[in-house]
Structure 1
Amino acid sequence: MPATASPAALLTALFVVLLLGALLCWLAVRARTAPSAAAPTAERDVLRRRVADLEAGAGRQRELEAVLSPVAATLGRVEEQVRVLERDRVEQYGRLAEQLTAVREGSEALRAETAQLAGALRSPSARGAWGEVQLRRVVEHAGMLERVDFSEQSTGTNRDGRVVRPDLVVHLPGGKQVVVDAKAPLAAFLEASEADGERRRGRRAAHARALRAHVDSLAAKEYWTACELSPEFVVCFVPGEAFLAAACEADPALLEHAMGRRVVLATPTTLLALLRTVALTWQQEAVAGSARELFDVGRELYDRLGTLGGHTAALGRTLHRAVEDYNRLVGTLERRVLVSARRIRDLDVADADLPAPEPLEDAVRPLAAPELLEDAGEGEARLRRA
């Protein structure tokens, strides 16, 4: 039969069992709580890394803002300028729209007036009157005066005995004259301005033929034979640059044909240049006349200066003789009269002394100018003859 265990052994065994149980319990608890304790540590590390990342990002943000702040200021100024430009653009577009409206209205008014003028110029008499008015305006703009520098509708007879009546006769220095005619044909040109395409070219060709026929008609009248000292040509006034340009475009030989027929085709520009040349010639003629008159007056003045020299020399000699006569009078007075007068004073008949006149010592200034001395003798002779 086994021996019974002692109490001490039992207590020791019990303590060991309890210690093992406590160890097992701690190990179980440790194993159970270890994952929950590691989680805060991991989260703390994550948060620390995020804070570091945020601080690094904030630093980069500040650096980026420092770099981009001038760009932002420049963009602000650009935005302001763009806003001002946009405002100015709107205003300019508004003014441009107003100008375009005014131009359109002016074009419509011009088109209407052109249509009215074209309708009025369909009449030959109206075209002739309009050409004469245009010619009169050009002549007046050149500074010429009617009945002085030019004459209108003057009548003359050419060498064939035909009576001709030019629209304008321009007077040149020396009695010369230039004849100007203002009746250029315009009917075909007005019809061409209203036509299109091939019909327009046809009407312009008709306009050139009409102008060529008018040149031949003017050449046949020989206006220059009806005017004295007139150059052997006549000026055909075309009242618009477009009229002559259209005719020359359709007929390039028109100008040569006209010059060969002694007819000068002149638009307002060329006629104005011609008339300004005539006005300049008149001015030079007036200057030459004034110079001749000044020369005559100068010669007359020079002759009269000689006569004045003669008068002056005669007057000087007269004054010299008067001084000599006065000095002789003073000498006679002192030697003959005052001696007796002083004896009266010595006899106590008179108390005051008689003043004694002084002789004149100043001499007459002689003439020194050669112009006066040259004709002094002739002037004196004229005085003696007078």
Structure 2
Amino acid sequence: MDVLSLVLGLVLGAVVVFVLLNKLKIENTKLQTRLEEQSKTFDFMQSSKTKMDEEFKKIASEVLKKDSVNLHEKNADLLNPLKTQIDDFRKKIEGLSNEQAKDRSVLGEQIKTLSDAHKHTLEGAEKLTNALTYDNKQQGDWGEMVLESILKDSGLNKNEQYHTQSTLKDEDGKILRPDVVIHLPEDKDIIIDSKVSLKHYQEYISGDIDALAKHIKSIDTHIKNISLKSYENLDGVNTLDYIFVFFPIEASLLVALEQKPDLFNNALKKNVALVSPSTLMMSLKTINHIWNTERQNQNTEEIMRQAGAMYDKLVGFMDSMKDIENHLNKAQEGYQDAYNKLHNGKGNLIGRAEKLKELGVQSKKELK
């Protein structure tokens, strides 16, 4: 009986032990399975963290690279026109300086030119003596030659600031060919006539005293004829109040004015101004000075315009730089916020992953 009880007890104990062992085995299997799942989860999180780090670095790199490229392109777009305008601005300043230097030398050149004008007159005196003994056509050609020489020495540019022998029409369709048309700023013009006859003047200086009165009468007649031509009505010409009548020999005008002092004022009343080589040269030099001043004023206006445009470009450039700075700051803030969620703060992903490892999750890699 005791043996039977002992055997039964052993059997019962063995059964109990078997049941307990089997239960423990099942629990162990479940636990092992759970640990394996947690280990896989940890590995996945570790891998995700690595990928996220790489992705964030890639995104940040791309953002910075893109902003850098945009910054470079915007800088090029803004700085290249700015550089061009600065170069233009410098050239205009240099041009203005050269114009001013040139203008300062004009006064000295005027004295020399006046001397040259007298020299040309003296050199032409002998030629005139021969020319005046022939017909009026030769006299006119000689006068035009002297006038052309003075125009050349005045500094004005032919076919730009003056034209010779232009074919023009008045309001009635009549064709007129003024010897010279001088152009002034603001679309104003001066007409010069060089067809005054010096035949009687030559007779006078040759010893015919009575020829002086004929010379003066010839001038009066020429003034009257010029005043009747109505040059102010020519198409394409906007004349000033006076037409210049040119005397190629200084003395031919002076002797007439000495004999008849009111000759000059009477001509002015008919809108005709009597000019000699010296007075015409001074007038042309004044006109040339006016043109130089006009060019300087235009250059100054252009410089001011370009300076304003350059300043506007600079303001736009600074605004663009500020906009780029804001975008870079936003990109940096976005990257830092994502990084903090991964690494810092309560419940961050790195902290949670480390806790899983502490609970026994197996991993082949270490978080850095």
- Corresponding residue of 2:129: 118
Contact 2:128 2:142 in 1 (8 A): no
Deviations along 1:294-317, one digit per CA (max 9) or x if unpaired, are 343344334433433332221111
Q: Shift of residue 234 of structure 1?
A: 0.7
TM-score, length of structure 2 as denominator length: 0.56
Q: Does 1:205 align with 2:213?
A: yes
Deviations along 1:234-274, one digit per CA (max 9) or x if unpaired, are 10011121111122223222212211221100111111222
* CA distance in structure 2 between the partners assigned to 1:162 and 1:113 by the alignment: 35
Question: What percent identity do the matched residue pairs reach?
Answer: 25
Q: What are the residue-to-residue correspondences of 1:206-285 with 2, within 5 Å?
A: 206-226=214-234, 228-285=237-294
Q: Give structure 1 stretches of 5+ with no counterpart.
A: 1-109, 355-386
Contact 2:243 2:273 in 1 (8 A): yes
Aligned partner of residue 205 in structure 1, secondary structure: helix
Deviations along 1:146-202, one digit per CA (max 9) or x if unpaired, are 12101111122334553211000111111111111011211122222222xxx3x22
Aligned counterpart for 2:140 among listed residues 128, 139, 142 = 128
Contact 2:131 2:142 in 1 (8 A): no
- Corresponding residue of 1:328: 337
- Corresponding residue of 2:206: 194
Q: Does 1:167 align with 2:179?
A: yes
Q: What are the residue-to-residue correspondences of 1:15-94 with 2, within 5 Å?
A: none
Of 298-307 and 207-216, deviating more is: 298-307
Contact 2:245 2:272 in 1 (8 A): yes
Contact 1:168 1:179 in 2 (8 A): yes
Aligned alpha-carbon RMSD (Å): 3.3
Contact 1:158 1:221 in 2 (8 A): no
Contact 1:224 1:233 in 2 (8 A): no
Deviations along 1:198-251, one digit per CA (max 9) or x if unpaired, are x3x222222222122211111121212215431232100111211111222232
Q: Give structure 2 stretches of 5+ with no counterpart.
A: 1-120
Aligned partner of residue 191 in structure 2, secondary structure: strand
- Corresponding residue of 2:300: 291
Q: What are the residue-to-residue correspondences of 1:299-310 with 2, within 5 Å?
A: 299-310=308-319
Change (3 A) 1:211 1:291: same
- Corresponding residue of 1:143: 155
Amino acid at match of 1:248: L
* CA distance in structure 2 between the partners assigned to 1:113 and 1:232 by the alignment: 31
Higher relative contact order (CA 8 A, sep 6+): 2
Change (3 A) 1:284 1:205: same
Aligned partner of residue 177 in structure 1, secondary structure: strand
